[in-house]
């Protein structure tokens, strides 16, 4: 059982077939200058001998790996893990590996991770920015060296790269419109860092909806969080609901904070949605579990991952592509109990 059989290399195949290693190398990847029957013979013998290509050697020669790096904030969040799931599926289909690194939403970590990934000679990069990040020079190393970079969800306009996003403005507009249609008069907003366009655009959509309905924009009803976790959501809701003139609806930029809003309301006897309507964002699993169920905006997370991976792979195929496109995916307003005031 314990047999350390030496690995079969293209040299073994070559000498057995009395051809040169280069021929074997080319035959294995259907190079045009190799004869049809030679290709067959090489592949047949390779199969018989159990040859397995050494990607390391190839990577060394090409100075580039078939590994895709993924930079995200936290793996253990519903949206992110679904995103990665999509990336991994697509990448593994194409024979690529996926290596993960989390910034924990800290700018310095993001920089360190970028360096580490670059040193690992990744062949492509998929990024969802840290909450803190405001400068983007740590990505120029990749671009200068023709390593494709694709941003997902938390993107930036300051870099000329592919992006895979949703229309956050439209989604924010849609969500807020829905609240207005349900008869809400004072709608508060729990937003995220305005340096992250996703949050900024959701907020802009929210503001636009108010404007279109000639509703007053009350700055005291807008709070932007740093991390948008449960604690922050709870505190913000408490702040809103203890105002002299509290809101009758909250549009939160993520489900985590929205769920906290519901919990605050429940703890304080505020009826949902009659006294307070709550709208979330992301369609996390919890949105279906919380009682009342949470209205939210659905994100095609897995698809975003798949598409991002496809973009990276496309750039690897055709090195000549210089155009950088922005792919915008559809969102869906999911109306549940937390905002449904009018029965239909």
Partner DNA sequence: TATATTTACGCAATCGGTTGCGCTGGACGT
Partner DNA sequence: ACGTCCAGCGCAACCGATTGCGTAAATATA
- CA angle, 160 as apex, 204 and 307 as ends, to 5°? 80
Relative to beta strand 332-334, strand 296-298 is antiparallel
From the list 46-54, 112-120, 181-189, 319-327, the region that binds DNA by CB under 7 A is: 46-54
Cα diameter, the chain: 89
> 281 Cβ partners below 8 Å, 6+ apart?
171, 175, 202, 252, 253, 254, 255, 258, 296, 297, 299
From the list 52-60, 136-144, 231-239, 336-344, the region that binds DNA by CB under 7 A is: 52-60
* Region of residue 153 (left: phi > 0; alpha: psi -120 to 50; beta: else): left
Nearest distance from residue 51's CB to DNA, in Å? 6
**Could you say whether residue 3 binds DNA (CB under 7 A)?**
no
Site for a second copy in 283-342 (CB under 8 A): 285-286, 289-291, 302
CB atoms within 10 A of CB 185: 12
Residue from 20, 22, 54, 220 that binds a second copy (CB under 8 A)?
54
* Interface pattern 221-260 for a second copy (x via CB under 8 A): --------------------------------------x-
Site for a second copy in 112-131 (CB under 8 A): 113, 116, 119-121
**Could you say whether residue 53 binds DNA (CB under 7 A)?**
yes
CB under 8 A, 24+ apart: contacts of 25-31: 28/53
**Could you say whether residue 21 binds DNA (CB under 7 A)?**
yes
Which among DNA, a second copy, none contacts residue 116 (Cβ within 5 to 8 A by kind)?
a second copy
Question: How far separated are the first and last CA of the chain, in Å rounded?
Answer: 69
**Could you say whether residue 97 binds a second copy (CB under 8 A)?**
yes
Residue from 7, 48, 181, 317 that binds DNA (CB under 7 A)?
7
| Nearest-angstrom CA–CA distance, 307 and 315 | 12
User: Do you know the residue count of the chain?
Assistant: 344
**Could you say whether residue 74 binds a second copy (CB under 8 A)?**
yes
Residue from 2, 4, 5, 29 that binds DNA (CB under 7 A)?
29
Kindly state the number of chain residues that form the binding site for DNA, as judged by CB under 7 A.
Answer: 31
User: Cβ(72)–Cβ(86) under 8 Å?
Assistant: no
Residue from 99, 159, 180, 327 that binds a second copy (CB under 8 A)?
99
**Could you say whether residue 15 binds DNA (CB under 7 A)?**
no
Residue from 67, 128, 282, 295 that binds a second copy (CB under 8 A)?
67
| Nearest-angstrom CA–CA distance, 216 and 35 | 75
Tell me the residue ranges of DSSP E strands in 80-203: 97-102, 124-127, 149-152, 162-166, 187-191
Q: At what angle do helices 36-49 and 10-17 cross, to 10 degrees?
A: 120
Which among a second copy, DNA, none contacts residue 19 (Cβ within 5 to 8 A by kind)?
DNA
**Could you say whether residue 278 binds a second copy (CB under 8 A)?**
no
Q: What is the dihedral of CA 285, 291, 294, 300, to 10 degrees?
A: 10
- CA angle, 341 as apex, 335 and 342 as ends, to 5°? 95
**Could you say whether residue 20 binds DNA (CB under 7 A)?**
yes
User: Cβ(8)–Cβ(51) under 8 Å?
Assistant: yes
* Interface pattern 295-334 for DNA (x via CB under 7 A): ----------------------------------------
**Could you say whether residue 10 binds DNA (CB under 7 A)?**
yes
| Nearest-angstrom CA–CA distance, 168 and 170 | 5
Binding site for a second copy (CB under 8 A): 1-4, 7, 52-57, 59-60, 63, 65, 67, 74-78, 80-82, 84-85, 88-89, 92, 95, 97-102, 113, 116, 119-121, 140, 144-145, 259, 263, 266, 285-286, 289-291, 302
Binding site for DNA (CB under 7 A): 6-7, 9-11, 18-23, 25-26, 28-29, 33-38, 51-54, 57-58, 60-63
């Amino acid at each position: 059982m314990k047999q350390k059989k030496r690995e079969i290399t293209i040299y073994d195949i070559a000498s057995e077939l009395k051809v040169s290693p280069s021929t074997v190398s080319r035959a294995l990847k259907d190079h045009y200058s190799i004869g049809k029957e030679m290709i067959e013979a090489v592949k047949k013998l390779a199969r018989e001998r159990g040859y397995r290509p050494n990607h390391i050697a190839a990577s060394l020669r090409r100075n580039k790996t078939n590994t895709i790096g993924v930079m995200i904030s936290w793996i253990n969040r519903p949206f992110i893990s679904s995103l990665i799931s999509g990336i991994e599926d697509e990448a593994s289909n194409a024979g690529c590996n996926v290596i993960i690194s989390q910034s924990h939403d800290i700018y310095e970590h993001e920089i360190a991770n970028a360096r580490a990934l670059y040193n690992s000679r990744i062949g492509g990069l998929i990024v969802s920015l840290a909450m803190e990040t405001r400068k983007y020079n740590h990505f120029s190393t990749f671009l200068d060296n023709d390593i494709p970079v694709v941003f997902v969800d938390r993107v930036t306009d300051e870099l000329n790269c592919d992006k895979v996003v949703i229309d956050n403005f439209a989604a924010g507009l849609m969500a807020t419109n829905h609240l207005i249609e349900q008869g809400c008069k004072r709608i508060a907003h729990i937003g995220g860092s305005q340096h992250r366009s996703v949050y900024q655009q959701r907020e802009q959509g929210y503001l636009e909806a108010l404007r279109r309905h000639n509703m007053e924009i009350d700055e005291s009803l807008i709070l932007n969080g740093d991390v948008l976790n449960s604690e922050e959501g709870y505190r913000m809701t408490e702040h809103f609901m203890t105002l002299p003139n509290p809101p009758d609806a909250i549009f939160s930029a993520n489900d985590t904070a929205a769920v906290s809003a519901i919990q605050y309301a429940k703890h304080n006897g505020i009826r949902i949605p009659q006294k307070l309507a709550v709208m979330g964002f992301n369609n996390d699993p919890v949105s279906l579990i919380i009682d009342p169920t949470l209205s939210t905006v659905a994100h095609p997370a897995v698809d975003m991952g798949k598409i991002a991976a496809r973009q990276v792979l496309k750039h690897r195929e055709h090195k000549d592509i210089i155009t950088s496109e922005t792919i915008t995916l559809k969102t869906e307003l999911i109306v549940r109990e937390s905002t449904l005031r009018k029965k239909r």
